[in-house]
Amino acid sequence: DAEITQSPRHKITETGRQVTLACHQTWNHNNMFWYRQDLGHGLRLIHYSYGVHDTNKGEVSDGYSVSRSNTEDLPLTLESAASSQTSVYFCASAREGRGVGAFFGQGTRLTVV
């Protein structure tokens, strides 16, 4: 079955370190997204991509970057981790079409100490 997987599922890192969270999907979807989930805020969009070599900033993109070198992967990099980036991160993908929704990964719980 096609799926979307995130790794690692849990990570603890120190302030100032660079961290990369992986996202891999096997649906061949062009559209991929990264969200963060925080209590009281729901899910907020960090970055998104509509195809290879396309990347766009979401509403909370400061301190994060993504790259899209192939259809399957959209890694999220925290350039210099900060305590404010402690959160649960979700990757999602969607095919083209109005109202199709998106498929979500299981999430990565990141703690910055």
**Chain positions contacting another protein, by CB under 8 A:** 31, 33, 35, 40-45, 48, 50, 58, 90, 92, 94, 96, 98-107
For residue 63, the minimal CB distance to another protein (Å) is 20
DSSP string, 54-90: EEEE-TT-TTEEE--SSSSB--EEESS--GGG-EEEE
For residue 58, the minimal CB distance to another protein (Å) is 7
Residue closer to another protein (CB basis): 19 or 32: 32
Residue closer to another protein (CB basis): 43 or 75: 43
Q: Write phi, then psi, for 27 (nearest 5 degrees).
A: -85, -10
Closest C-alpha to 35, from 99, 96, 102, 88 = 88
For residue 104, the minimal CB distance to another protein (Å) is 4
